[in-house]
Chains A and B, each alone.
Chain A
Amino acid sequence: MAVLTKAEAKKISELDDYYMPMLDALKKAGVLDDKTHRRYMLTGYYRLVEFLQEKKLITEKEAREAMADGFRSLLGFLSA
């Protein structure tokens, strides 16, 4: 499900410090609120992936791939 634009995803994927910008972009897109933004900053990437799957923003298969291949793969799913 496209919650980010391809341009946003591309920009984030090119950053050295990608995690906060990714959380910020998901918040801007209304996927995360203040509380969940903070939660996944504290608990790490895998908890974010679990949340996105739970919210059906990515499929189970995509979640598996995002866990194996990392945030750039996740950004691909979120901007597709």
Chain B
Amino acid sequence: MYGWCGQRLRVDLSNGTITKEPLSYEYRRKWIGGRGMNSEVIYREVLPHLDPFDPVARVCFGVGPISGTAAPASGRVTVSCKSPLTGGFGDSNMGGHWGAELKYAGYDQIIIQGKARKPVYLWIDDDKVEIRDASHLWGKFPREADAMIKQELGDEDIHIVVIGPAGEHLVRFASTFNDVYRAAGRTGHGAVLGSKNLKAIAVRGSGTVKIARPKEFFDICNRLRQRFKTDPMRKFLYEIGSLSLINVANHDGWLSVNNFKQGAHPEAWRMSGEEHSKTVLKHREGCFACPICCGRFTEIKEGKYAGEYGGGPEYEHSVPTGPRVGVFDPNAIWHNMILTNNYGMDGIETGGVIATAMEWYEKGLITSKDTGGLELEWGNQEVVEKLITMIALREGFGDVLADGASRAADRLGLGDEGQKYTIATRGMTLPGDDPRGLGFAYGVGFAIGTRGGCDHLRCLASLELSGFMYPGLNTKILGDERPVKPVTTVGKGYCCFYEENQKAMVDCLNVCCFTTHWSYAVLTADQVEYFNAVTGMDITEEEFMEIGERIVNLERAYWARMLSGKREDTIPERFQKEPMPKTVEGQTNIGAVFPVERILPGYYKYRDYDPETGFPSERRLKMLGLEYVAKDLEPLRQKYNTEAEKKKKKYYY
């Protein structure tokens, strides 16, 4: 067999059984790997109304047929579950080296189910798989647990997935880490692993990935690597990292400041990638087979936090616990990032929930009586720092926020007024990108993202973000160069459809989207080429994109089964009704609002979503080989539009 290992591992922690399940040719061709296979399992095995913390719930780790090869940035791994944050479909992916190691150990996927009686970790050493005691690891930070497991197993070169204390405390947005610093951040699978008492998965593999047409494959890889040498986005990402976006975001007014009340701030340059590189950048490090190497490490050199060290920063981690909560001191932002990583939490949701609470406080919806005496004022770093720990350990007011912004609003009895400031859709707060400036296609992605409404990485319509660096690319794919302009409605519906399908495939191959969507060095045709060369298949570009479409529809159907559809395809009122204020000189999007309703109907047509419910149509589902899904949705189409259902306000599930 080429590309795939052809088997997955199923571990039931309740009874300790470990089974290896073969993956047929048809199955592999239909779902490819990574996100595709994971989504298939979650749809089929995790019923939509199951409590995500029920032992029956699953967590899947999936890699693709390209994982572990020389294809650019082919080391990612997708983690999927029913999200305890949103209650809907959830997944996230991470770089590092663990994904490649899992392939070398001989597995395309791991399914975790059940619940161990006490803390355990999984040790996969090629064919030998065992469940080991992890009582001594419970409560440890990822870096501590990683070091202890390596020492225990006597091998510094193994790769380990681990959760932090936040996962153990069932913080609904706890993350999963590998190689200590590479996080699968969103949707809370770290908490689901915590609910199962699974602290870590250590892997050592001694196998290889068989390539069907090696010469052809290495020729493609060489060609692509040459392309990266002159790629404009690669230069930015290597030299400045994803924080290269800070100055751009500040200029174009899409930086999340004070919970999106502003899109820019005169002090934001202090946390830019340029400044970080000059001051606290310790070193750079790439993930497996990466030609970009955007990863950075930080050592704080002065002030209160001097001596602290950690992986990062990334734009999406640093903005929510920085500008979004009104903090602009760079060392404080790096400290918040290190602290959040130590506890093993999603930086976006952590900052999002604190920012939301700050706005509730500002609007008088909560007072210091609710917060245990904390004064939640914008930019109060002392409080932000304190709250990060309180959330991770579920202490005091932190316990309320540990359930995520939307659930916290309900726990505090704040009603619709409280929900208005959560700046979330389908129960997950938005990342640090304001669609009034970043772009309308990104904004549509926030409304329709299949891992929760909020999503900067699902639709990933980067043709409007970095497309200007690739003149002619928008025309090549979309037929027009105008969609490269962020705040226009022209061409955005099709842009979302194309990019969403394409991104689904990138997540099935488990290559890094920085090589395919931020940078456009690797286009769809290249991906089809290396997929075919590795696997020996001969699928067409059309089939390739259709698989992406299948996965998007399956995930969409998961939400539809929970009666989440057209009415929930929206974005927070702030973006639709509040014109972007001017806060810096030269800001390009002053007065902008985001007319999401003008783009969605067009997008629905490409998807063939039912215009009444927003559910995938029976016709399209059958075309995609999802007859069983069409059957599942059949009785729900009418139910969704009953008067009783229309009255329900669904902020999470």
**A contact residues vs B (CB 8 Å cutoff):** 16-20, 22, 38-39, 41-48, 67-72, 74
Contact = CB atoms under 8 A, between A and B. Distances in A.
Contacts of B494: 17, 19-20
A17 B491 contact: yes
A8 B478 CA distance: 19
Given A16-B490, A17-B494, A19-B491, A45 B479 contact: yes
B472 A45 contact: no
B602 A42 contact: no
A46 B491 contact: no
Interface in B463-504: 472, 475-481, 489-494, 497-498, 501
Contact of A42 (B479, B491, B545): B545
A48 B475 CA distance: 12
23 contacts: A16-B489, A16-B491, A17-B491, A17-B602, A17-B605, A18-B491, A19-B479, A20-B494, A38-B542, A39-B542, A41-B497, A42-B545, A43-B524, A44-B479, A45-B477, A46-B477, A67-B476, A68-B475, A69-B475, A70-B480, A70-B481, A71-B480, A74-B479
A72 B480 contact: yes
B231 to A, nearest CB: 20
Contacts of A67: 472, 475-476
Contacts of B493: 17, 20
Contacts of A44: 476-479, 498, 524
Interface in B484-539: 489-494, 497-498, 501, 524
B25 interface: no
A68 B472 contact: yes
A37 to B, nearest CB: 12
B480 A43 contact: no
- List 3 tightest A-B contacts by C-beta distance, closest first: A45-B479, A17-B602, A71-B479
Contacts, number: 70
B363 interface: no
Contacts of B477: 44-46
B541 interface: yes
Contact of B598 (A16, A46, A68): A16
Nearest to A45: B479
Contacts of B498: 44
A19 B545 contact: no
B399 interface: no
A20 B605 contact: yes
Contacts of B598: 16
Interface string B109-131: 00000000000000000000000
A61 to B, nearest CB: 17
B501 to A, nearest CB: 7
A47 B269 CA distance: 42
A19 B478 contact: yes
A46 B602 contact: no
A47 B491 contact: no
Interface residues of B, number: 28
A48 to B, nearest CB: 8
Contacts of A19: 478-479, 491, 494
A6 B398 CA distance: 64
Nearest to B478: A45
Contacts of B605: 17, 20
A72 to B, nearest CB: 7
Contacts of A16: 489-492, 598, 602
Contacts of B475: 45, 67-70
Interface string B564-605: 000000000000000000000000000000000011001001
Given A20-B494, A20-B606, A42 B549 contact: yes
Nearest to B605: A20
B10 to A, nearest CB: 33
B546 interface: yes
Given A16-B490, A70-B480, A42 B501 contact: yes
Contacts of A38: 542
Contacts of A46: 476-477
Given A16-B491, A16-B598, A17-B491, A45 B476 contact: yes
Contacts of B524: 43-44
A16 B599 CA distance: 9
B125 to A, nearest CB: 42
A16 B489 CA distance: 6
A43 to B, nearest CB: 5
Contacts of B480: 18, 70-72
B476 A42 contact: no
Interface string B546-573: 1001000000000000000000000000
A41 B492 CA distance: 14
Contacts of A22: 479
Best-surrounded residue of A39, A43, A74 (most CB of chain B within 10 A):
A43
Nearest to B482: A70
Contacts of A42: 501, 541-542, 545-546, 549
A65 to B, nearest CB: 11
